[in-house]
Amino acid sequence: MKLIEAVEAAARELEAAGVGFGHGTTNAFDEAAWLVLWSQCLPLDELDQHAEQELHDEEQDEIHALIEQRIESRKPAAYLTREAWLQGVPFYVDERAIVPRSFIAELVADGAIDPWLGEHTQRVLDLCTGNGSLAVLAAMAYPDITVDAADISLDALAVAQVNVDKHRLQDRITLVESDGLAALPGPYDWCCATRRTSTPPAWRSCRPSTRPSRCWRWRVGRTAWISSGNCCAICRRGWRSTACWCWRSATSA
């Protein structure tokens, strides 16, 4: 069997099993390609180069076992491979943190957020950092900033530490255990706030009229919606900064 045939067969299995996507891929073929290439220790962007590669029986068995695990466990592929990609940057991830998926990463990568930043942008907060991917991307994109990456979960912060170390940003990213803004010093020039939960029922429990919009501006004394681990919560904090921009990712599983 050729590698491309293994990908096509795996895609058919995933589709027939009704597996959901959205944690790095959007369809069965891309998910199958990811898992097959990873199982063979091949770069994920080199399917065409290796499509005609012949697979030995043992390699086919490895692929079949991985696809079966994906179907039976329903775990996202990123949890099975312990790797997720965001804007072309690899991150370690496991079940202690959600798989990174964020529109904020696109804003950072394509410079769409640049008009609101400038020389004054020095201190950045990544609220609900999870595996730390946004903190890392922000530090990589803007070499003059420092980032506080906060999360209420010590487990998530342990995963974030792996990624901070992986990308050698220990001097510019500080990990902080904090329930919302409670343990954060402020003020910040820019705040990224990504919804941590991936459980739709909790999100749907909020009335449509009270769900947060994709982005908002937060001034002192105003109220900003932030979705926490299993519910929507209103956070009021009196930072001394006159204003900070907060963006929320609208992605959900």
Residue 147 domain-assigned? yes
Per-residue pLDDT reduced to its tens digit, 208-238: 344 333 322 322 223 233 333 333 343 444 3
Per-residue pLDDT reduced to its tens digit, 165-186: 999 999 999 999 998 888 988 7
The answer to which of 28-37, 97-106, 159-168 has the lowest mean pLDDT is: 97-106
The answer to which of 53-62, 160-169, 231-240 has the lowest mean pLDDT is: 231-240
Q: Last residue of some domain: 46, 81, 116?
A: 81
* Same domain (yes/no): 209, 242: yes
pLDDT for position 110:
85
* Same domain (yes/no): 74, 130: no
Average pLDDT over residues 41-48: 93
- Is the predicted pLDDT of residue 6 greater than 80, yes or no? yes
pLDDT for position 194:
60
Q: Last residue of some domain: 48, 81, 114?
A: 81
pLDDT for position 31:
95
Q: Last residue of some domain: 55, 81, 107?
A: 81
* Same domain (yes/no): 110, 234: yes
* Same domain (yes/no): 238, 175: yes
Instruction: Find the domain containing 223 and state its range.
Output: 96-247
Its pTM stands at: 0.73
CATH of the domain at 126: 3.40.50.150
Q: Into how many domains does the chain fold?
A: 2
* Same domain (yes/no): 219, 243: yes
* Same domain (yes/no): 111, 230: yes
Distance CA 141, CA 33 (A): 29
